[in-house]
Each structure stands twice: as structure tokens, then as C-alpha cells.
Amino acid sequence: MLECGPAPAPQDLCSHQESLSMVAAPSDGFHGSQWRSTCLLPTEEQKRDVGHPGRATLDESLGDRSPWEEELLGQIRAMSDSQRSRVLEAIQHRIEEHTQVITIPGGSSGLGLQLPRAGHWGPSTVFCLQLLWKEVADPGIRELLAPLNLEPQQPVEKAFLFLVYGLILRECASSDLVRRHLMRLLELSHQTAGQREGMAVASGIASSSHLQEVWATLEHLGRTRVLRTACTSPDYQEPYADVHWRWVSSTSLLCYGHMALHAGEHILPWVDNVISRMVYYFSCSCYDNILETSFLSAAVMLVKALKQEHSTRRYRFTQIPELIQCLLAILQKEPNFLATLFRQKIILVIMELSKLRPSLKPVVKSRILQTCLQSLYMLPPMEMLKSCLPPLDLAPDVMVLYQKSMQALDLLLQTFISENKSMDEMCFLLQHTEPWLKSDKSHECKRVVQTIFLLLKYVVDYVKLTDEATPSMLGHQIGLLMLLWRDRDPVTQSHSRQCIYLLLQLLIQQKGSMGQFMHLNKMKNFEAKALRRSEMKFYNLVKNQSIKVEQVAEILQGLFQELPSIVFKNILQTMMKAVTMLGTQHTQETVEVMLSLCHPSERQVLPLWKALASNNQLARKVLMLLYMKLKLRPPKELVRLSQQAELISLLALGTIYELLYTREYKATVRWAFAGILVGLLTQLHYLFELDVVEGISDYQEDSLEVKPLSPCRTCLEALKGLFWTTNYWEVFAYLQLLRGWELFEHLETYTEGVTLLARAMAHYDCEVKAVLGQAVISLKSSEERDNIVAILVITEFLNSQELTQYMSRRAMDNFLSLGLSSPNQLVRAMSLKGLTSILMDPKKVVLLRNQLAGLLDSFMGPEPQDLMGLMEILGDILHSLGTQGIGATSIRMAQHLLSLFEDEQAPVRGGAISLFGDVVHSGGKKYRPALKRQAFQALVPLLFHLVDSCPAVVMKTKLTFLRCAILLKWEFRKELFGKLAWGHGLGAENDIFIYMVESNFGSYHQFLMQALIYLGSPHKNLKRMAMKFIGGILQDYFTDLCFSLKRGDLKIFKKYLEVLKKDSDSVSRRFYQNFLEDITELSKFVRQ
């Protein structure tokens, strides 16, 4: 229902930092299901760093260091070589002891080591330096490190050890010491991804000062280890006896990548040697996922390093074709489905390499084109891409992967033509598409034609070819493209036509183009003349401004027929300007003709509607006319079944629905909000009268199938879209989370839906004044359906805080009295209800409050009777009091309702949670701070009840949780709603956890203490939710807890934790085992 914009096109390799692996590897133990949070809004630089293969961010920012970092480097530089040697030995020992593998999702990809960025080292990283204190016994070194205030009992992050190791090696003056300790580091196990990446990071940092020493060490490693573990033949399948060295070649590849990143201006003298080693180790090693990922990672780092060196363009490389051949080998081995971004990454690396000198030979470029086209075009059709995936723990978004991979191919072709701006190069590229143009598979033809179209569009718009072309050079391609004009796929048809027009335009841009046109076929001349005639017709229209009314239909119908074949921007712009002028002169006739051109759902006429929005006043007139057309509703007895689809009101409805999501009409829709809303509500009632209800209830929001909506569904989706596109998302969310939109799917519940919608609008003050004015007009209408909608809206608006500012009591009394004489029973009843409301009879406030006090005594008693009935009555009183509120009583009610969240009966839990949401909004401004505190106290219980065993409780919890977030003014309220409404699984749980915790900075310890109670919950869902929550808090906010928890809190924590030790549930016992050490560590830092 809600439209999403297309993914932005990639610009270059460094603008694409997605992880190469989109599939998360499960972790061992309970930690696999914990929530994680780092920050809600990472900086742009941090976003670019995420998942980038081989991105070395540790040492790139050391030029802009914090005082703490400067002090660390100062201490390292103050050491003697012997002291540094002992520290390095201590780190080696600590790494060997360390059993935790620190990787991001991606398992053994070799890309996942997370290291702290320079400039972003926090307190937890400071604790890591305790290894320099704990492992080194030398008093002199302890004295040097004393200013850092290190303590010997802090936890160690393994990744940080490699960083410190590299920094110390970099600062060493002794070449022998560097070689010796680097070799010892490389002799550690190469089994895990974190270990391999850590070794490479340390080597890269060290190489920035000791490039020759690091190179010599890697050469020694290659001779003694890499070649020994290399497979002797492709069929070699004997398992390795020593997994310690199994992936040493992958480590070497990563080391060369990091060396390139840290080489700086020295990269060029060494680059061919680096590439030759990468190619050799890749070629002679046993091929697996780890090897290919490490090689690609190293290649990305190499390309990044070359892009940063300005003299690269003047350097003549010798190993680029061999490097590209290895990348193509990886691409060829990719499976025939999309689960990762490997294809995109490989193509983007090749694209950057193709810019280097000397230029690639045609045979190399031909191999690149053949491999890349085959890898992408032979993928299954779009509708089958997802179903072709193997079973995965976390299914990737195959549509995004496909789009990014195809965008990379487009960039590669654009780079080829930009590097050689000749018609020969264009023909060379097009020749490689010929086999695919001849394919008998529709999806392959569709892909290649789109590729050709985007390439030609790029060349026409941005490239000036240096030599002239003759028709014979392109004749074969034009012929193949012409054959696709009758393809059964309309997209292929359209793109093939546009390709030929672009080829013609390319020829026009060349010298002597008129002579060349004589050699083209008759079809081309016919199409070109048609375009020229259309352009001249509209050009005269713009000039003369004297079109008669009877000409409007002829002009617009002719333009509509030509519209699909227009690819020239200037022609299209001229025509759209003409449509704007035509609409300005004859607005009503233009709107009527455009409604008749095609069904709005086909969207072919949408460019014409956009043209009418270029003028603000004209756009308003258009919406007003559509609103008037919407009201043309003939009675059911006058409408034949065959005529229903042709009703002008249905065409207006479909057009309004499309314009809601059209950017050009955004401001105008906001201006006409009230009229559109009332019009849609009455239109839906009219469709129920016509009994046009087919397809309204079987609509699926998450379905990828594109098919026209039924009239009723179109009306309902337009109603929903009106609130979403105008950013009144709180009203949309209120109904979505209560499943209130479903009430509009049946005539029997239609009035409940309108009432609930009006209540939400009054609560969030959504266009109350404007909608009230429209409702008053509808109340005077002779149509019964208008009266029903109007009275339902007005009676609910009587509870609005601002209503008396818009209309006096006397005026409201007159309008409500008007409804008493209506022939419709519902209108009479609702009018009477409105006349007896608090707003119209303020004396009732005292009576209702007295009644509320008596009910509260029963409600809060030790053994209340009929809790559900009491809560329902209390809710009705709250709603009746409206803006008057209940004052201090609201705090007592909120406190008591909190205790009912854990009631054994699901209806009681749900009723209490729902009523709590009303109560925290009923105290008025005076008591709002106190009610905010109550809302804060409810956050943890509400979060846990999102997994309540009763679906009805979950639904009510979602709304109350969101209402608390709105009351507390969280920053990410709209995003939270999205996760509550449509999120599923651990990912959604993790996001909600982040929104909650990060929106309440400094409250981590309070959340933790609240969550402990649920470790003893008899409900398994709540208990496990509490474990996830506590695990996430401990993992992500350990440092903050050190400063905020007290000894007494830890005693309570241990008490609850000890109960899990002998729990019958294995998950509970595992949770105890995993976090007992964390609690012990925590106890060392908390204050008294």
C-alpha cells in the first residue's frame, strides 16, 4: 500500500559498503538471540564503513586523535625496544588464550572483524588496555602506563589486541624486532575469520613504517606455509590434518590488502608485486568461500588505495589482466541465485581496474563482458529469484541484490565507453549483447534491452563520441531490436523502441547525420515524422493559446497515443507545458477528457496529471473538480451492472488514489484534506449501497503481485493513504494497531470504523477545524449517507480539546438539533448523543467524576467483582469526560492498572493495558509529568507483553506501547510504529529494543532492574523475552551499568540469577552460565 522509492544508483566502488555476505551465521549458545545496539544514527562515515570488505578504519584517522589516543601513542613511543618486545609477547600470549571469535554476521567470510575506530574509542576500549598492565610484570612499563589509570580486572576485546600490536610494531625502530614479532603473530592459528583479519590489520599498520620488513615476512610465510598447504591439483580433496594453517593463504591475501591501504604514496612501486602475489596465492590455493572472500576483500582494499593516490593515472600497471581473470573466476563460480552482493562487488572492482593504464585489450574486455552478462542475465526470472534461494537463517532481499548487481553492470559499461569515447567502442559493447537479444527466454531479452537502453541514454546525455558512425555498423543491432517491438512483454517492447530512437539521436549528433538517415528503414522515418508532427502541433498550441473547447479532446487523445514513444526530453517537456496551458484555459474539459483516456490504475495518463500540478492554483482546481466528480453517484436502481466500472465517480476515485502518492500533488492534497476525507468516507458507503464489495477483504499488503484493486479496496486504500501521505501517521497507526481499518470492510461495522477514525483524529488534533466544517456541510445534505458520515464525525469531535475555538455551543446545538429531524434512525440517535455530551452540558462533569470516584473504590478493592465490566465503564467515563480529564485520579488508576498487566486472565491483562493507554492521556497538562513517569514505568512490561501468549493482548499492547512512546516524545516514533505494525522476528525485536533504550538515555539500570522480575515469570514467552532484554543491556551498556548500579542492585540481580541455575528449562540454565561471569565482572566496578 505504501510506496517506496527506488534504490539509488551506485556511483563508484567506495559508495557501496554493503556486506558481501547477506546471510547471518548463527552464534553458539544463548548469545545468538541477544539484542544488539550501538547507535541509532551512525554518521555517514560509519555507515560507509559497515560491512565494507577489508576496510581498514583503525589507523586512517590517527591524524585527528583525541587526547586519550595521543597519550596512548605517547606511552608506546616512550618505551624502549626491549619493553615493547615484552608487551608484544604479552599480547601474543593473551591472544592465544582468547577463545572468543569476534566477527560480524557473515561467519567465516574473513570480512567481519569489528575494530574500534580511531576517534571513537569509548570506556570499554579503555578497559581493554588492562592487558598491558596485567600481562607485563616490568615495573618500568607499569610506570609508563600508569597515567592511563588501567585496572587489572577488566574484560579484553580481542580485536583491540591486534590494533595495539600493530601500533607497537609501527613505532619500533628495530627491523629485526618487527620481523621477529610479526612472524610470531602470523604463526598463530588461521582457523577463524577474526584471527585472520586481526593478523592482517596488525600487518597493515606495521607496514606503514616498515613496508620492506612486512613484505619480507610475508614472503617467508608464503614459502614456508602457504605453498605447503596449497592443493596440488583441482581434484585434491584430502582433509587437512592441521586446521591451524588451513587458511593461511586467505590471511596472506588480507595482509596484502591492508598493506596496500597503509602504503600511501609508496603504493605504486609495490603495487605490481602485491598483485602478483595475490594472483599467485589465489591460483595455487584450494578454492572455497573463505579464499574467494578474502581475495575479493584484498582486491577492494587495493582498489581503494589506488583511488586515493593521485599519480595512479600516470602509472603503467603490468598485472591488471591477471587480477581481473581471478575476479572473473570467482564470478563464474557464483551459484545461479542471489544471496550475496558478490556479483556487484566483483563488477565494481573490475570497473575501477579498467580505468587504470594501459587500457585493457579487447580480448580482456570481451572476456569481462561475456562473463558479467552471463552471470546476471542467466539468473532466474524476477518472480522466481526468491523461490530459488536455498534454506537460509536470514533470507536476503533478493530484489535489492538484483537491482544493485544490475546497476554495477550498467556502471561497468558506462566506464568502458567513457574510457574510449568512440563509435567503435559502442559497437563493440553492443555486439556482446547480440546473443542475449536472440534469446528465446523473455526475461533474458528484457534484461539485455534494459541494459542497452540505459547505456544509450547515458551516451546520448553525457558522452560525445569522437568519431562518426555509419548505419551499417549498427544495422544488425537495430534489426534485432526491431524484432523485439512485438515481444509479448510490454517493457521489452517499450525499451526496444526507445533504444532505436536513442540510436537515431546518436546518429543525429554525428556529423553528416542527414545523409545517414537516408540509409535507414522506412519504419524509422515514419516514427521520426510522427514525433516531429506531434512536437509542432504542441509548439503551435503553446504559441497561439487559442484552443477551442471542442479541440481539447482531440488534442489530449492524440498526445496520449504518442506519449509512450516519446524519449526526447525536449519534446516531452514541450508537450507537458502545452498540457499545463491547456488545463489552465479549459480546466473542466481537460479533467473530463483525461478521466476517459484510460483506467487510473494503469497509470499511463499520470504524466498528464503531473503536468497539471506545475501550477499551484491549477492543481487545486483539478482536485476540486475530482471531488465534484466523486460526488456524482447515481442511485443503485439506475446503475446497470455493466456500467459500474464506467461510473465517473469511480474514475475520479481511482485518480485521487494515484495522486495521493504523486509528489507534485503533495501540498495540494494537504490543502484539500478535509474534502477528500469526507468524500472518501461517503464514497465507501455508496459502494456498499451498490454492493460492489468484491475484493475488499482479500487484499494482502505484503503481496508482490500487481493487480488492479477493486473499487471498494481502492477507496479504503485511498482513505489510509490520505493519512499516511499527509504525515498524520499517528491516526493511521491508531487504527492499524487496533485493526480498525478492517471495520471499513463491511457495512455492518462501517459506522464503528468512522467513529474510531474520528476519535483518533480528535485525539491527535488532525485537521479538526477543516473536517468539522466539511461535516457540517454534509449534515445539511439531502443524501442520507452524507448525514451518517457527518454526524458520526461531529459527535466524536465533541471530545476534541480545540473544538470550542472553532464553533460556539449555540451553533453546534443548532446543527445537532437539525439531525434530530433526520429520517435515518442512526442520525437521530447520534444527534441526541451529541446534545447530551459534556461539551453541550458542562454540568455533567461533576456527576461523572463523582460516579468515577465510587467505581474506583470497587476497582481498586482487594477482590473486585467483574473487572472487565468495571474497566469498560471506566473507559467510557474517560471518553465522555474528554478534555475535562480526571486530574489526580489518573495517577492512581495508572498505578493500579500496571499491577494488572500480569494478571492470569488474558482478557484482564488486555483490558488493563488498553485502559492504561487512555489513562496516561487523561490527566491534563498539570498532571502530565507524573503520568509520563507512569508511562516510563510501563515500558518494560509493555515491551515484554509484545510476545504475550494471547494475540488480543499483543494487539492492545502494541498500541499502548506506541502511545507511551508518543507521550514521552521519542525521536523514532514513526519507525517504532513500522516495526510494531509490520515487523517480524528477531530483527524487529532488536529494533524495538534499540528505539526504547536509546530514547531513554541513562535509564539502562532502571530497565535492567525492572526486567529481573520477569526471570521468575511462569509464562515462558515473557521469561525468554526478559533474558533477551537483560542480555542485550549487559552486552551493550556494560560500561554505563558500572557507573549506575549499586551493590544492593547486584545482590538482587544475583538472587534472581541463581534461581535459573537449577531451572528445568535448558535455555534458562544456559543464560545463567553465559552471564554469571558478566555479573562477577560487573561487581568489580560498581560503587557502594
Condensed to tens digits (0 to 9), the pLDDT of residues 900-955 reads 999 899 999 999 999 999 888 887 778 889 999 999 999 999 999 999 999 999 99
pLDDT at 228: 60
Q: What is the pLDDT of residue 48?
A: 33
For the stretch 544-553, pLDDT in tens is 555 677 778 8
Condensed to tens digits (0 to 9), the pLDDT of residues 726-741 reads 999 999 999 999 999 9
Q: What angle do CA 821, 685, 833 make, to 5 degrees?
A: 40
How many residues in total does the chain contain?
1088
Task: Indicate whether 42 pLDDT > 60.
Answer: no
Rounded Cα distance, 192 and 205, in Å: 20
Could you give the percent of the chain with pLDDT greater than 70? Answer: 80
* pTM, entire model: 0.57
Alpha carbons 97 and 93: distance in angstroms, whole number: 6
- Judge whether residue 265 has pLDDT over 50: yes
User: Is 859's pLDDT higher than 90?
Assistant: no
Task: Report the alpha-carbon distance of residue 473 to residue 253 in Å, rounded.
Answer: 44
More confident position, 752 or 861: 752
Partners of residue 639 on adjacent β-strands: none
- Between 758 and 40, the more confident residue is 758
Residue with more model confidence, 501 or 46: 501
Q: Give the dihedral sign, CA 329/333/337/342.
A: negative
How far lies 738's CA from each of 21, 743, 789, 959, in Å? 38, 10, 21, 7
Q: How confident is the model at residue 646 (pLDDT cuts 50, 70, 90)?
A: low
- The three-class DSSP label of residue 316 is strand
Q: What is the pLDDT of residue 151?
A: 41
Cα–Cα dist 735/719, whole Å: 12
Q: Please determine, for residue 28, whether its predicted confidence score (pLDDT) is greater than 50.
A: no
Alpha carbon of 43 to those of 47, 313, 1039: distances in Å?
A: 6, 31, 22
**Above 80 in pLDDT, residue 1004?**
yes
Angle 1050-1053-1057 from CA coordinates, rounded to 5°: 135
Note whether 274 and 302 are within 8 A (CB).
Answer: yes
Residue burial 614-648, b: 16+ Cβ < 10 Å; e: rest: eeeebbbbbbebbbbbbbebeeeeebeeeeeeebb
pLDDT of 134 strictly over 50: no
Query: 284-293, 341-350, 852-861: which has the minimum mean pLDDT?
Result: 852-861
Residue 504: enclosing H or E segment and its boundaries? Answer: helix 490-509
Asked if omega into 147 is within 30° of 0 (cis), the reply is no
CA angle 32, 103, 972 (to 5 degrees): 65
pLDDT mean across residues, the chain: 80
pLDDT at 363 over 80: yes
Compute the distance between CA of residue 116 and CA of residue 160 in angstroms, rounded to an integer: 7
Tell me the backbone φ, ψ of residue 495, rounded to 5 degrees.
Answer: -65, -35
Give the confidence band of 687 by pLDDT, cuts at 50, 70, 90: very high
Q: What is the pLDDT of residues 175-188, one digit of tens each?
A: 888 999 999 999 88
Sorting pLDDT into bands at 50, 70 and 90, what band is 661?
very high
Q: Which of 792, 790, 766 is nearest to 777 (CA)?
A: 790
Position 133 confidence tier, pLDDT thresholds 50, 70, 90: very low
DSSP string, 919-975: HTTSSTTTTHHHHHHHHHHHHHHHHHGGG-SSHHHHHHHHHHHHHHHHHTT-TTHHH
Between the alpha carbon of residue 649 and those of residues 432, 599, 940, the distances in Å are: 52, 12, 49
pLDDT at 468: 58
Residues 126-136 have a mean pLDDT of 45
Within a 13 Å sphere around the CA of 468, how many CA atoms are in the beta-carbon half? 10
Inter-CA distances, 717 with 3, 13, 345, 496, 842, Å: 12, 40, 39, 35, 39
Per mean pLDDT, which range of 560-564, 568-572, 700-704 is the poorest?
Answer: 700-704
Please tell me the predicted confidence (pLDDT) of residue 545.
53
Distance CA 906, CA 953 (A): 7
Specify the DSSP class assigned to residue 240. P
* Ordered alpha helix ranges (H), 108-235: 123-128, 130-134, 139-145, 158-171, 175-186, 193-207, 211-221, 227-229
pLDDT at 230 over 60: no
* Other CB atoms within 10 Å distance of the CB of residue 325: 16
Contact 345, 109 (CB under 8 A): no
Question: Distance between CA 948 and CA 1047 in Å, rounded?
Answer: 33
The yes-or-no verdict on residue 132 having pLDDT over 60 is no
Q: Which amino acid is at 1086?
A: V
In the block, residue with C-alpha cell 491483562: 909
pLDDT on residue 961 = 95
Q: CB burial class (10 A; 0-12, 13-18, 19+) of residue 573?
A: exposed
Choose from 240-249, 574-583, 1011-1020, 1035-1044 the range with maximum mean pLDDT: 1011-1020
Measured distance CA(633)–CA(1055) in Å, rounded: 70
Lowest model confidence (mean pLDDT) among 290-294, 297-301, 639-643? 639-643
pLDDT of 438 strictly over 80: yes
Between these two residues, 779 and 225, which has the higher pLDDT value?
779
Of residues 919 and 44, which shows the higher confidence score?
919
Q: What is the CA radius of gyration of the chain?
A: 35
Is the pLDDT reported for residue 60 higher than 70?
A: no
Distances 117 to 50, 302, 356, 489 between C-alpha atoms, Å = 12, 20, 31, 50
Predicted local confidence at residue 703, as pLDDT:
52
From the list 624, 638, 634, 710, the residue with the least C-alpha distance to 668 is 624
All cell numbers assigned to 763? 485525539
pLDDT at 302: 94
> C-alpha grid cell for residue 445?
531479452
* Angle in degrees, 0-180, between the axes of helices 648-660 and 587-597, rounded to the nearest 10: 90
Query: pLDDT per residue over 98-113, tens digit each?
Result: 644 333 333 333 333 3
DSSP 546: -
3-state SS track over 68-128: HHHHHHHHHHHCCHHHHHHHHHHHHHHHHHCCCCCCCCCCCCCCCCCCCCCCCCCHHHHHH
- Spell out the residues 6+ positions from residue 21 whose beta carbon is closer than 8 angstroms to its own: 105, 106, 107, 109, 111, 293, 340
Contact 467, 427 (CB under 8 A): no
Yes or no: say if 192 and 101 are a contact pair by the CB < 8 Å rule.
Answer: yes
Cell of 6: 527506488
The yes-or-no verdict on residue 130 having pLDDT over 90 is no
Residue, of 569 and 754, whose pLDDT is higher: 754
Count of C-beta atoms within a 10 Å radius of residue 492: 22
Statement: residue 4 has pLDDT above 50: no
